[in-house]
Amino acid sequence: MTHDGALRLHMRRILRAPHSAVFRALTEPRELAKWWGPDGFTTPSAESDLRPGGGYRLAMQPPEGDLFYLVGEFLEVDPPNTLSYTFRWEDPDPEDRETVVTLSLRDIGGTSTELTFTQGDFATERRRALHDEGWTQALNKLEKLVSSTPSA
């Protein structure tokens, strides 16, 4: 993660999977539900209309506590290279505001993918830090999932 003065997240990962497989894991509801969320969270349902202007809704279940929902709209869908969408909680914390997530994928020799992630701008440093922790844990799970899945 790097800081650029604004309250944004920037992450970069090298995943041992073709970028088409990574894009699929980022966009197909069944695949997304396997890795989405911080450690201990599950995703009981994932709905998606994967097109610019289409929406999505993810149910997130923490280890303890009530189910809550993440919703947004797809801004850019360019398989298997780019995915961008708005990100907001259905019942936001007073410190939350809608942010934009952009995921860019770059093929590395047909067997690996460079994933570049950005999200922002956050209202507070505390919310940015919370998302940093959640995305770090989720991307760790994504990395494990795609590196153990045979390529299609």
Nearest to 85 by CA among 57, 43, 106: 57
3-state secondary structure the chain: CCCCCCCEEEEEEEECCCHHHHHHHHHCHHHHHHHCCCCCCEEEEEEECCCCCCEEEEEEECCCCCCEEEEEEEEEEECCCEEEEEEEECCCCCCCCCEEEEEEEEEECCCEEEEEEEEECCCCHHHHHHHHHHHHHHHHHHHHHHHHCCCC
Averaged pLDDT, 5-30: 94
Amino acid at the residue 62? P
- What fold characterizes domain 8-148? Alpha-D-Glucose-1,6-Bisphosphate; Chain A, domain 4 (3.30.530)
In tens, the pLDDT along 20-78 reads: 999 999 999 999 999 999 999 999 999 999 999 999 999 999 999 999 999 999 999 99
The answer to whether the pTM exceeds 0.85 is yes
